[in-house]
Amino acid sequence: MRQVAEHVKLTEEELGKLIERFGKPGVKQKIKMLNEKRKKGTLPLREGSDYQSLMKVGNQQKVQPIRSKEGLEDIRSYFESRSKRDYFLFVMGINVGVRIGDLLKLQVRHVRNKEYLAIREEKTGKTKRFRLNIMLRNIIEDYTYGMTESDYLFPSKKTKEPISRVQAYRIMKEAGEVLGMENVGTHSLRKSFGYHFYQKNKDIAMLQDIFNHSSERVTKIYIGIAQDEIDDAMDDFFI
């Protein structure tokens, strides 16, 4: 636990999760808003954890899925021309739908010559199984060639340990900025998987099960479908 601002203490993990979801500017703005509310007396100095308070405060735009196939191809091409590791992170993220924290911890032994990826989810503690189709297995084979079974899939160039959530966020955020895309972050990977899975299969119940969500409504909001449906309904609504 460390002091990140006046009256605000967070663990490194909590700070990483906030940056992953809202971006550094968004987190700074949330901290500012939280402290202003506390100074004005509209919020008590302590009401639950600072992490919970920061998650609730403000109305910061959330990271969005990449909805267009063209957008996906643009980012795919961007990474493919710059970094083998970052390209593989993107491809795995949008095709498996694993949370970024679980994805970053993977080693070669978890995916090489496997038809399924089995993960004990950090957030839920549940073990989930994800199918690795032939297209993805071919990419895995190429990427892991020459790597040992214990090598991490997404290593830091300096330490060979997995890159952090914050570093992964920066990688995605920078790609979005270069390509002129707004609200892109590591959450965009899982949300994009969900969005395009739904567009292809139209099975929100199956997607709810994949994501371990409490309801279909939660899943629709998470992947951006709920807002799309509202927008479509409003297009033809006039009294």
Please list the active-site residues: 99, 123, 187, 190, 213, 222
In this structure, the dihedral spanned by the alpha carbons of residues 136, 98, 194 and 179, taken in order and rounded to 10 degrees, is: -80
- Is 90 within 8 Å of 79 (Cβ atoms)? yes
Both tokens assigned to 173: 């955020």
Pairing of strands 2-5, 8-10: antiparallel
Which DSSP letter does residue 155 get? B
Cβ burial, residue 137 (10 Å; 0-12/13-18/19+): middle
- Is 45 within 8 Å of 38 (Cβ atoms)? yes
Q: CA 29 to CA 234: how far, in whole Å?
A: 31
